[in-house]
Amino acid sequence: MPREYYSVSEAAKALGISVDTLRRWDRQGRIKADRDQGNRRVIPATEIDRLRGEPGSAHLSARNRFNAIVTDVKVEGLMAQVEMVVSDPVRLVALVTRDAIEELGLRQGMPATAIVKSTSVMVQH
């Protein structure tokens, strides 16, 4: 039977981030953490899956992930441009297909994660 919750250190390892980063993400609302009976943070498996992307995808270190807020989406023909604020003033601009925008439901103001792999960028929410 699959586990429902992971300790902070197990979750951090699974996500390729430090425990301090995971705690900071919890305080910032970037990850949903619950508390166990001893009032320790525990991370639902669903949150780990959400942050890692689709099952079976290659593991990427935290250096390759940019949690951001979508600030602009421009769709023209088959292509689209997505602009995200990673941390003010750092912005990331990605060119993606119109289909990707529609599939992800990307719109201004929503949180998203840009995953940089080699020379391509994937966007998920």
Say which amino acid occupies 112: A
CA distance 24 to 46: 19
44-70: pLDDT as tens digits? 988 888 877 645 444 545 566 778 889
Q: Which pair of tokens denotes residue 105?
A: 């439901």
Overall pTM surpassing 0.85 (yes/no): no
**Extended strands (E) in 32-78:** 34-35, 41-44, 65-76
CA distance 96 to 14: 28
Closest CA to 64 of 113, 29, 23: 113
Of 46-50, 51-55, 76-80, 94-98, which gets the smallest average pLDDT? 51-55
- Domains of the chain by start residue, with CATH: 5-52 (1.10.1660.10), 63-124 (2.40.50.100)
Query: Is the Cβ–Cβ distance between 72 and 54 less than 8 Å?
Result: no
